[in-house]
């Protein structure tokens, strides 16, 4: 695998990994550009549904339920999509997936415009969410395949986190502008179009996709089972639970900041406050990718969740826009290190034959946590005010931290209690010792 050898050789000369070095990885731009276009709709779907259904029904409650059905469907079906991509190849899953998604979103849009009953919208929302292309996890899997064993892997995880956050900044803005300025259905129409075009171009980049495991035994003398589910790895289950907490922060902040802005009689402050929160996440992501870490990822993950729990602990007591903005910035700064380190651990915990599935489990956990947090925070804000809604991020991160502390031993890569063969890939027949935690 010449790409991996070259990358590791370069990093040996330059011990400080950076974005410039990462983006010079051969073939990277071939999947980054179409991947950015294809993942943009991920941030447009929910807001597009809310704006369209609210326009046709006059109810934010109904719009929120339809959007929640889409989010839950995505969270449940995304790991299956990742598992199929690991087994048969990303292109084989993406090609039919983007077609189904574009058709499902078009059907949902048409049903909303003709005033179809709510049950019909729910039925259409299920395939629309289930078929959301998991381009972000697929890009991460491509980085992992190219950078296996390289210090640049943490830089790639940071780069992807920043890209995700940038997507969630411009995607909703684009969808809202189209729905308000063009037509209430324009946001979903653009979402379906970008999914189709970006997804097809991304699927065409076959050279950089990880090799599918299919069912053909194992690789060159190894004895790893190629079709073992990523969820069978204890560390992935722990990370998925922890990522529910990150979803709780995103969902709780969205609802509670909106409720807070309405309570103070300044709805426009919501955009500013959430923008500051998102900016903190982006800035921390950029910094994480530029740092040559000396501490291990498990330690960084525990510290990141501790900081995130502390940062969210005071949100409920704040009643000032400047102070809430400062706290929101701090929360954003704490999210990125936790998120990035979790994704970095996947490369160490999961074999290459299951990484796309593992990444989709984490992405799905964030989406599921966000959907639950939106519902709970909304009910608390309606009943007790915005301050009560801010308790949701705190509880979510505190439970995630408790899980990580209790099960931290499962976040270390485990090897059999014997000497493991490592010479197969390089053609060297000797054995080297593997550290067992």
Tell me if 219 sits within 8 A of 1, measured CB to CB: no
A 10 A CB-CB count for 414 gives: 14
How many domains in the chain? 2
Last residue of a domain, one of 165, 181, 212: 212
96 and 152: one domain? yes
Which of 212, 240, 259 is the last residue before a domain boundary? 212
Residue 241 sits in a domain of what CATH number?
1.20.1250.20
In a domain, 289, yes or no: yes
- Confidence at residue 175, expressed as pLDDT on a 0 to 100 scale: 78
User: Does residue 101 form part of some domain?
Assistant: yes
- Which residue stretches of 89-184 are H helix? 90-113, 118-130, 135-146, 152-181
19 occurs within a structural domain: no
185 and 239, same domain (yes or no): no
pLDDT at res. 12: 40
Q: b vs e for 259-272, b when ≥16 Cβ sit within 10 Å of the residue's Cβ?
A: bbbeeeeeeebbee
H/E run at residue 238:
helix 234-263
Q: Does 421 map to a domain?
A: no
Give the range of the structural domain holding residue 322, as residue numbers without chain letter: 230-411
Q: Are residues 31 and 180 in the same domain?
A: yes
Shared domain check, 239 and 172: no
Return d(Cα 130, Cα 98) in angstroms, integer. 11
pLDDT of residue 43: 74
Distance separating alpha carbons of residues 277 and 280, to the nearest angstrom = 5
Same domain, 57 and 185: yes
Reduced to 3 states, what is the DSSP secondary structure of residue 50? helix
Q: What pLDDT sits at residue 283?
A: 83
d(CA 157, CA 286): 10
For strands 431-432 and 420-421, give the pairing: antiparallel
In-domain check, residue 280: yes
Does residue 184 sit in the same domain as residue 269?
no
- Tell whether 21 is covered by a domain: no
The answer to whether residues 180 and 304 belong to one domain is no
Does 327 share its domain with 403?
yes
- Global confidence as pTM: 0.71
Grouped pLDDT means (10 residues each) for the chain, 437 residues? 40 56 82 82 78 79 78 83 83 89 94 91 92 85 79 78 74 77 89 89 83 56 53 85 90 80 76 79 76 76 92 86 88 86 81 78 84 79 84 93 90 53 37 40
Instruction: Evaluate whether residue 401 is within a structural domain.
Output: yes
Q: Are residues 180 and 279 in the same domain?
A: no
217 within domain boundaries: no
Q: Are residues 199 and 140 in the same domain?
A: yes
What pLDDT does 410 receive?
A: 84
Cα 353 to Cα 161, 206, 221: the distances in Å are 23, 16, 15
> Is the domain of 345 the same as that of 257?
yes
The answer to whether the beta carbons of residues 97 and 77 sit under 8 Å apart is no
155 and 277 part of one domain: no
């Amino acid at each position: 695998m010449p790409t991996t050898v070259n990358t590791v050789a370069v990093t040996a000369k330059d011990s400080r990994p950076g974005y410039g070095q990462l983006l010079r990885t051969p073939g990277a731009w071939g999947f980054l550009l179409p991947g950015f276009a294809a993942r943009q709709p991920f941030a447009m779907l929910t807001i597009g549904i809310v704006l369209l259904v609210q326009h046709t029904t006059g109810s934010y409650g109904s719009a929120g339920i339809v959007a929640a059905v889409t989010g839950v469907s995505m969270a449940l079906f995304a790991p299956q999509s990742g598992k199929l991509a690991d087994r048969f190849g990303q292109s084989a899953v993406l090609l039919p997936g983007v077609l189904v998604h574009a058709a499902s979103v078009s059907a949902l849009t048409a049903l909303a415009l003709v005033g179809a009953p709510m049950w019909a919208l729910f039925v259409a929302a299920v395939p629309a969410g289930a078929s959301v292309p998991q381009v972000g996890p697929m890009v991460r899997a491509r980085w992992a395949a190219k950078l296996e064993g390289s210090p640049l892997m943490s830089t790639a995880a940071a780069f992807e986190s920043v890209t995700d956050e940038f997507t969630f900044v411009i995607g909703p803005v684009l969808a809202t502008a189209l729905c308000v300025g063009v037509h209430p259905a324009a946001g979903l129409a653009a979402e379906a179009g970008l999914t189709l075009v970006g997804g097809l171009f991304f699927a065409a980049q076959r050279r950089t996709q990880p090799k599918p495991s299919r069912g053909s035994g194992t690789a060159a003398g190894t004895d790893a089972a190629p079709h073992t589910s990523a969820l069978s790895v204890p560390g992935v289950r722990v990370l998925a639970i922890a990522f529910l907490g990150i979803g709780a922060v995103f969902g709780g902040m969205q609802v509670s900041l909106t409720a807070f802005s309405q309570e103070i009689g300044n709805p426009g402050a919501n955009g500013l406050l959430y923008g500051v929160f998102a900016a903190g996440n982006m800035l921390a992501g950029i910094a994480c990718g530029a740092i040559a870490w000396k501490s291990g990822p498990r330690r960084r993950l525990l510290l990141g969740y501790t900081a995130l729990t502390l940062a969210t602990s005071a949100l409920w007591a704040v009643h000032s826009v400047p102070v809430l903005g400062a706290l929101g910035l701090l929360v954003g700064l704490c999210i990125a290190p936790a998120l990035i380190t979790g994704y970095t651990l996947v490369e160490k915990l999961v074999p290459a034959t299951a990484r796309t599935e593992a990444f989709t489990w984490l992405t799905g956990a964030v989406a599921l946590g966000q959907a639950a947090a939106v519902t709970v925070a909304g009910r608390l804000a309606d009943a007790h005010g915005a301050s009560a809604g801010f308790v949701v991020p705190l509880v979510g991160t505190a439970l995630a931290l408790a899980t990580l502390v209790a099960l931290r031993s499962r976040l270390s890569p485990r090897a059999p209690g014997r000497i493991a063969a490592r010479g197969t890939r390089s053609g060297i027949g000797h054995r080297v010792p593997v550290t067992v935690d």
